[in-house]
Homo-oligomer: A and B are copies of this chain.
């Protein structure tokens, strides 16, 4: 007889790129006896059902969450508070509530206060994605070889954390558990600042005259192209990231500003030594990335094109 699935009933609230990829993983790995999907858009729900991503679909998140063993919120973070309020009365004792949002402190500020004491909150963040969204964009290998970071509160139920961890391991993710505040600080540097800068730089080019803009596109392979893909990421998701991780982002942005001002001054003064020293120092970080083999995993959120380069 087949092994019993990890969860009897899993509810996915939201079925975009991440939610639909998770549904596909759970189907492939037989992790859920039943998958219930809830969406706010009728069209998306219809599509999820057509794609066979769930056993059952409803536009009522509360109804979807009823009797679920695991509820995973896969919506933009701006919706968390309302969803929490809506599903709370339907959550059964011992249910696990998780999410896939890119910022983790707000989960404790907006979602946690809505939930009854008898459920276990295990926030998660799969550091994975593409520039595409919606239920058609998902695929089960999305998380393979990438990090998923879990940020349960201190004293969270161990077995609940272990079950969520197991789900992500079956998605072939590498799993790390860390404090939510620390997560937000690390991601502000590794992800949020790079995305903000890419959005800025592509926006700057958008404001150029038409002729120049055409040439910027023509010669985009010289560096700019890579920023355009990052800046094509989902606008709603990124708006919410910057609104919710405000302090950490503004803090690293302040440091970045200082450093940029220093380089700008060196250019203005024709100070070649400062430029050379700075450009040499950054090579060490690159070596760290290559040594950590972070250079051969698939690219994530707002990911980067796939051409080879000489040394690949």
Q: Taking beta carbons and an 8 Å cutoff, which residues of A are in contact with B?
A: 78, 127, 130-132, 137, 139, 142, 146-147, 149, 176, 185-187, 189-191, 193-208, 212-213, 215-233, 235-236, 238-240, 242-243, 246, 249-250, 252-253, 255-257, 259-260, 263-264, 266-268, 270, 272, 275-276, 278-289, 292, 294-312
A301 cross-chain contacts in B, Cβ below 8 A? 222-223
Contact B199 A282 (CB under 8 A): yes
A264 cross-chain contacts in B, Cβ below 8 A? 250, 253
Contact A286 B232 (CB under 8 A): yes
Contact A238 B275 (CB under 8 A): yes
A288 cross-chain contacts in B, Cβ below 8 A? 213, 217
The 8 closest A-B pairs by CB, nearest first: A235-B279, A194-B223, A232-B286, A191-B222, A303-B309, A130-B310, A306-B312, A231-B282
A201 vs B201: C-alpha distance in the bound complex, in angstroms? 13
Known: A197-B197, A310-B142. A243 touches B296 (CB 8 A): no
A276 cross-chain contacts in B, Cβ below 8 A? 235-236, 239
Contact A267 B285 (CB under 8 A): no
A240 vs B270: C-alpha distance in the bound complex, in angstroms? 10
- How many of these chains are in the complex? 2
Q: Please name the residue on chain B nearest to A279 by beta carbon.
A: B235
Pick from B216, B225, B232: contact of A186, CB below 8 A: B216
Known: A216-B190, A235-B276, A252-B204. A285 touches B223 (CB 8 A): no
Sampled A-B contacts (18; CB under 8 Å): A132-B311, A190-B215, A190-B219, A190-B224, A191-B222, A193-B201, A197-B201, A199-B279, A200-B256, A200-B263, A218-B292, A225-B289, A225-B295, A226-B226, A232-B287, A235-B276, A239-B279, A298-B308
Kindly provide the distance from the CB of A151 to the nearest chain B CB, expressed in whole angstroms. Answer: 13
A266 cross-chain contacts in B, Cβ below 8 A? 242
A139 vs B307: C-alpha distance in the bound complex, in angstroms? 16
A175 vs B164: C-alpha distance in the bound complex, in angstroms? 54
Known: A201-B194, A263-B199, A276-B236. A187 touches B308 (CB 8 A): no
A203 cross-chain contacts in B, Cβ below 8 A? 259, 278, 281-282
A282 cross-chain contacts in B, Cβ below 8 A? 199, 202-203, 206, 228, 231-232
Contact A299 B309 (CB under 8 A): yes
Kindly provide the distance from the CB of A93 to the nearest chain B CB, expressed in whole angstroms. Answer: 35
Pick from B191, B205, B233, B312: contact of A224, CB below 8 A: B191
Kindly provide the distance from the CB of A232 to the nearest chain B CB, expressed in whole angstroms. Answer: 4
